[in-house]
A = this chain, B = another copy of it.
């Protein structure tokens, strides 16, 4: 039976990326060696790194003055690197979920980081609006997509101070006006590559303004100077990212994938809204994530949660359990998720409804 991979991350990758990864492991770029055992200083891998960065910049239409870095350590490492590199006196955070809260916690360890607004009191089921960002903060930090709670900031904000965004789970899902951001970062393991590499898009002129001494590995300027090879980069994960970016370009880029993502999400949200057994956790369509779609059982059908979970699993739907802090269900519909899988899940939801 076909398995449908709805995991929130690490998550589904394009079949193209998987096939090219196997080819690269068998032999990389005519070298006679596997991508798993090639020197990062070999001319073939340097070419791969350069092409990956070029594709990354092309697909996101990144303007001059920005650098793209590939680092190890995960987006969680960025939670401390961002304030280390950018916060001299004060920073401001929008608290829209668990990851946003973790980012804020790390910044507080390093200085005066303030929470400008939070939706915590309603289990993060909306994106706060109408808050005031302090003018004297060194930057304002947002998490554009909240993987656990299923909300998303889908429009680029206009902010007077440098804007920093964790885009771990929605990068490359839509066009982004990069010029509105000072720094964007994210783990690769949703829309880009297997876990093990983190991307950073950083505007050069926001760096070098803090007085604290920075360890080399935690200093963006060191990685810019080293062209992401200050130390050995995660070679294979970068190679895999290159394949995903090639696939995305061939498919028409971020504009084309956004259209598909909107369609896929509509199919599933429509069913959640329609099906008597279920109800969405996020009601405002503006705040609904196109990447992580969350729902729970309707009040009259709570006892069917476990039976539906089992029924879905027995029909090949993997990873649809909601995060333990929310319960219910979550289907992640990242770029690589085919429409057919979303339709198959909707079919399972309808079938289960007809039986109950």
> How extensive is the interface on chain A, given as a class?
35 or more
Answer yes or no: A335 CB below 8 A from chain B CBs: no
Chain B neighbourhood of A97, CB < 8 A: none
Answer yes or no: A252 CB below 8 A from chain B CBs: no
Q: In the assembled complex, how far is the CB of residue A178 from the closest CB belonging to chain B, in whole angstroms?
A: 25
Answer yes or no: A189 CB below 8 A from chain B CBs: yes
Q: In the assembled complex, how far is the CB of residue A348 from the closest CB belonging to chain B, in whole angstroms?
A: 16
Q: Which of A66-87 contact B (CB under 8 A)?
A: 71-77, 79-80
Partner of A72, one of B35, B72, B109: B72
Task: Check B217 against A74 for contact (C-beta < 8 Å).
Answer: yes
Q: Name which of A1-9, A122-130, A258-266, A278-286 contacts chain B.
A: A1-9
Q: Name which of A113-121, A154-162, A194-202 contacts chain B.
A: A194-202
Task: Check A195 against B232 for contact (C-beta < 8 Å).
Answer: yes
Task: Check B76 against A217 for contact (C-beta < 8 Å).
Answer: yes
Cβ proximity bits A227-245 to B, threshold 8 Å, 1 near / 0 not: 0001111111100100000
By beta carbon, the residue of chain B nearest A222 is B76
Task: Check B318 against A33 for contact (C-beta < 8 Å).
Answer: yes
Given the known inter-chain contacts A195-B235, A231-B76, please indicate yes or no for A10 contacting B37, CB distance below 8 A.
yes
Given the known inter-chain contacts A3-B32, A22-B25, A25-B18, please indicate yes or no for A40 contacting B75, CB distance below 8 A.
no
Given the known inter-chain contacts A36-B18, A218-B80, A235-B10, please indicate yes or no for A109 contacting B213, CB distance below 8 A.
yes
Task: Check B232 against A194 for contact (C-beta < 8 Å).
Answer: no
Task: Check B240 against A237 for contact (C-beta < 8 Å).
Answer: no
Q: Write 25 A-B pairs (CB below 8 A) sorted by A numbering.
A: A2-B32, A5-B33, A7-B38, A7-B39, A8-B39, A9-B232, A10-B37, A12-B37, A13-B36, A22-B22, A36-B240, A37-B194, A72-B77, A73-B77, A74-B217, A76-B217, A76-B230, A79-B215, A79-B216, A106-B215, A195-B232, A195-B235, A196-B196, A196-B197, A196-B234
